[in-house]
């Protein structure tokens, strides 16, 4: 009985450690090559005791020096070679990188050179997957999130390499291509999305898969009720 109790205690402590809070004062830095993070990230950061800081171009080793997390939200401007080198060095020194991308019509792979950046971590964004309007995605309970999460997806790419933990759903509602994956190179953390909707906190409990008018957000209620809690979990993992 005593051995059983010790085993249960160790399991509980391990679970608590897996979802531990980041250190107070963490800096979440917004990359200057794309969109600013949603305003709602401020409340997530405040809960973590963190602050969000907008970086100016160009990104350098100096500008990243006090960052814990670098957010690249749908970059559209060229990430130059020296900036890529600084970002790779930042991650390999223990920093965290989140890259949220999208389908070609909204986020062309060139000129940002995103694949050249994430190739350093063995990852790649593919060409667009087959378009299914409001098809949704699922991420599974694991290293980052404490339960399965339903997320929006409506046009995007697959992610190759890394450890997949989220999948675009197919017509039948089954997991298809991996659309979000993570890597932990040299103690750093990298997460790459092939669709940015969850990172923009889209999706509602009222959404119904495969409904709405294709490519018309004003006439679509997107499926994917868990974007907010998922991004809370993800930013917590990246910042600690």
Residue 62 lies in a domain: yes
Q: Are strands 51-54 and 124-128 parallel, antiparallel or unpaired?
A: unpaired
Residue 94 lies in a domain: yes
Residue 211 lies in a domain: no
Residue 143 lies in a domain: no
Residue 212 lies in a domain: no
Name residues whose C-beta falls within 8 Å of residue 108's C-beta, 6 or more positions apart in sequence.
76
Residue 230 lies in a domain: yes
pLDDT given at position 62: 98
pLDDT given at position 1: 39
Could you tell me the two tokens for 59? 């990104």
212 — alpha (psi -120 to 50), left (phi > 0) or beta? left
Percent of the chain exceeding pLDDT 70 equals: 90
pLDDT score of 13 more than 60: no
For the chain, how many structural domains are there in total?
Answer: 1
pLDDT score of 6 more than 90: no
pLDDT given at position 25: 81
Q: Assign 164 to helix, strand or coil.
A: strand
Q: Could you give the CA distance from residue 99 to residue 97 in angstroms, rounded to a whole number?
A: 6
Residue 96 lies in a domain: yes
Give the pTM: 0.91
Residue 139 lies in a domain: no
Q: How far apart are the first and last CA of the chain?
A: 35
Domain that holds residue 60: 22-128+156-167+177-203+226-239
Q: Assign 182 to helix, strand or coil.
A: strand
> For residue 26, what is the domain's CATH number?
3.40.50.880
Q: Which band of pLDDT confidence, cut at 50, 70 and 90, is reported for residue 23?
A: low
Q: In Å, what is the CA distance from 57 to each residue of 31, 94, 111, 118?
A: 8, 22, 16, 19
Average the pLDDT over 209-231 and give the result: 98
Q: What are phi and psi of 204, to 5 degrees?
A: -140, 160
């Amino acid at each position: 009985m005593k051995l059983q109790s010790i085993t249960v205690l160790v399991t509980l402590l391990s679970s608590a450690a897996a979802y531990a809070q980041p250190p107070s004062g963490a800096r979440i830095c917004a990359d200057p090559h794309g969109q600013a993070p949603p305003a709602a990230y401020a409340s997530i950061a405040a809960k973590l005791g963190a602050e969000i800081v907008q970086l100016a171009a160009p990104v350098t080793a100096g500008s990243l020096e006090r960052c814990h997390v670098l957010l690249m939200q749908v970059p559209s401007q060229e990430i130059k070679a020296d900036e890529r080198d600084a970002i790779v060095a930042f991650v390999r020194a223990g920093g965290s990188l989140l890259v949220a991308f999208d389908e070609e019509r909204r986020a062309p792979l060139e000129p940002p050179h995103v694949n050249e950046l994430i190739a350093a971590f063995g990852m790649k964004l593919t060409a667009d997957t087959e378009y299914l309007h409001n098809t949704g995605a699922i991420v599974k309970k694991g290293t980052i999130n404490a339960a399965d999460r339903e997320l929006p997806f409506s046009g995007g790419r697959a992610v190759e390499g890394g450890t997949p933990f989220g999948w675009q759903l197919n017509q039948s509602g089954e997991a298809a291509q991996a659309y979000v994956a993570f890597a932990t190179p040299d103690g750093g953390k990298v997460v790459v999305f092939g669709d940015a909707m969850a990172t923009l906190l889209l999706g509602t409990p009222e959404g119904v898969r495969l409904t709405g008018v294709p490519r018309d957000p004003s006439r679509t209620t997107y499926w994917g009720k868990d974007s907010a809690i998922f991004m809370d979990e993800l930013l917590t993992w990246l910042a600690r």
